[in-house]
Amino acid sequence: MKVFIFLASIFLIITTIFSNDKGIKNMSYNELNQEEQRVILHKGTEAPYSGKFYEHKGDGIYTCRQCNTELYKSNTKFNSGCGWPSFDDNIDGAVKRVPDADGRRVEIVCASCGGHLGHVFEGEQFTANNTRHCVNSVSIDFKGTDSYKKAYFAAGCFWGVEYHFETLPGVVSAVSGYMGGHTENPTYEQICSKTTGHLEVVEVSYDPKIVNYETLVKLFFEIHDPEQPNGQGPDIGPQYLSAIFTSKKDEREVIKKLANELTNKGYNLATKLHEDTVFYKAEDYHQDYYQRRNQQPYCHAYTKRF
């Protein structure tokens, strides 16, 4: 019996060692080079200003180098001047905070595999979120939007539309902007004059391996009142009308199918279907408006219709 207990104890110790050394022993994870092991497995730190993602720009998702978990959206990255990639927010549930061994700082690790990412700091006033995730470049990878698709929705004030689409799994980014008018590079002030013909639109970049176009259109119909013909909620005007922009035949068929379902349920839809046109990104202060202020949309609420 004692021999059995002894062998069981040895087995447990070996299993623990192997499970903790995930980057090397667990074949479901990516193989790590020596520097990546030093940082990710043994909580090291790369030299400041040396990482490949320090000044990196581009639309997409930053992922865990060890297990490929999606950690940060590119629109949360900012230049803090600290020498390491900085993010002011993470994808919900993707990053875990733990007390650092130094007893002073807060370490951040991948919530899926426990790989070391860096540290998190608050109260520095760099962004409206007042948070800085200081991340080692060797701890992350990047997936650009080349592998993603785009969809364009107008459903009233783009702040609320953007807010709801960014909560949908598979959506990489939601960007506020303008479409459908006759003025090049319109400003928000011009849009508000109601003379350019543009609608407030959100450009949704999504991973078709995770979410399909039909799911996006369903959410569109469920986060605003598609029956209101003159705007959305208290926002009245041509820039706030309900519309979807696409020139793709398969997408138009999806829209018509879902619109027919709602019509058969008694809805009198005011939503218009427009051909694709140029999308102009809105000013920076419109992007992630509610998230950066920790507020809820005032004229958009989810209502199940399907």
Catalytic residues: 134, 157
Q: Up-side HSE of residue 128: CA atoms within 13 Å toward CB?
A: 13
Q: Tell me if 194 sits within 8 A of 238, measured CB to CB.
A: yes
Cα–Cα distance for residue pair 207/16, rounded to 1 Å:
36
- Return the structure tokens found at 121: 């700091």
